């Protein structure tokens, strides 16, 4: 799929706020609403646009605990590694999960409702896993910027 300048702009706009109408998006990128819709359908069909989601503001809740957990694992058993990944992917508290290169094998972004919940989740995900060698937790004091937007110009399709 080849992207042109309008595609780059539209994809960036969709990531910023996909809740705008086709007309509003079209006005920003210089297309008719139907042309915007055709491009969005093309993005979905190609797999480039995987889903549309609502983004909640983490500062809206006073009890919210966000943490970044760095995990080093034992690589002795592919079965244990797969089980560990499945457990993390199934946990609704895991907001982001990255396989890393270097001292740490995984970076996990957790969001929980209070410290008691955070401790329960950490125990369930990291302390009770046979292949977790060690982990460290960094509590987020102020989420200055959150999100998962990818600059459209960085896409090489």
Residue 78 pLDDT grade (very low, low, confident, very high; cuts 50, 70, 90): confident
Query: Are residues 12 and 24 in contact, defined by beta-carbon separation less than 8 angstroms?
Result: no
Question: What is the domain partition of the chain in residue ranges?
Answer: 5-53, 58-139
Please tell me the predicted confidence (pLDDT) of residue 152: 83
**Number of continuous H segments (helices) and E segments (strands) in the chain:** 5, 4
What's the topology of domain 58-139?
A: Alpha-Beta Plaits (3.30.70)
CA–CA gap between residue 37 and residue 20 (Å, rounded): 12
Q: Which class is domain 5-53? A: mainly alpha
Q: What is the pLDDT of residue 39?
A: 96
pLDDT at 157: 64
pLDDT attached to residue 110:
96
What is the average pLDDT across 41-66? 86
What are 72's strand-pairing partners?
Answer: 134
Contact 129, 113 (CB under 8 A): no
Predicted TM-score (pTM) of the model is 0.76
Domains 5-53 and 58-139 equal at CATH topology level: no
Q: What tokens appear for 113 in the block?
A: 């409702």
Query: Is 105 exposed, middle or buried (CB count within 10 Å of its CB: 0-12, 13-18, 19+)?
Result: buried
pLDDT at 55: 78
Average per-residue pLDDT for the chain: 91
Q: Smallest Cα–Cα separation from 146: which of 55, 10, 74, 21?
A: 55
Q: What does the pLDDT look like over 91-148, one tens digit per residue?
A: 999 999 999 999 999 999 999 999 999 999 999 999 877 789 999 999 999 888 887 7
- The per-residue pLDDT for 133 is 92
Q: Assess whether pLDDT exceeds 90 at residue 25.
A: yes
Rounded percentage of the chain residues whose pLDDT exceeds 90: 69
50 or 58: which carries more pLDDT confidence?
A: 50
More confident residue, 150 or 40: 40
């Amino acid at each position: 799929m080849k992207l042109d300048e309008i595609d780059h702009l539209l994809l960036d706009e969709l990531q910023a706020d996909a809740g705008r109408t086709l007309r509003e998006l079209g006005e920003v990128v210089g297309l008719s609403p139907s042309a915007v819709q055709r491009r969005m359908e093309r993005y979905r069909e190609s797999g480039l646009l995987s889903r549309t989601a609502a983004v909640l503001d983490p500062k809206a809740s006073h009890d919210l605990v966000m943490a970044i957990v760095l995990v080093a694992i034992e690589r002795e058993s592919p079965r244990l590694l797969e089980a560990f990944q499945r457990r993390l992917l199934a946990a609704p508290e895991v907001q982001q999960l990255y396989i890393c290169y270097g001292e740490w094998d995984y970076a996990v972004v957790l969001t929980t409702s209070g410290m008691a919940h955070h401790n329960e989740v950490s125990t369930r995900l990291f302390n009770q896993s046979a292949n977790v060698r060690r982990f460290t937790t960094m509590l987020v004091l102020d989420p200055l910027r959150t999100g998962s937007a990818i600059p459209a110009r960085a896409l090489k399709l």
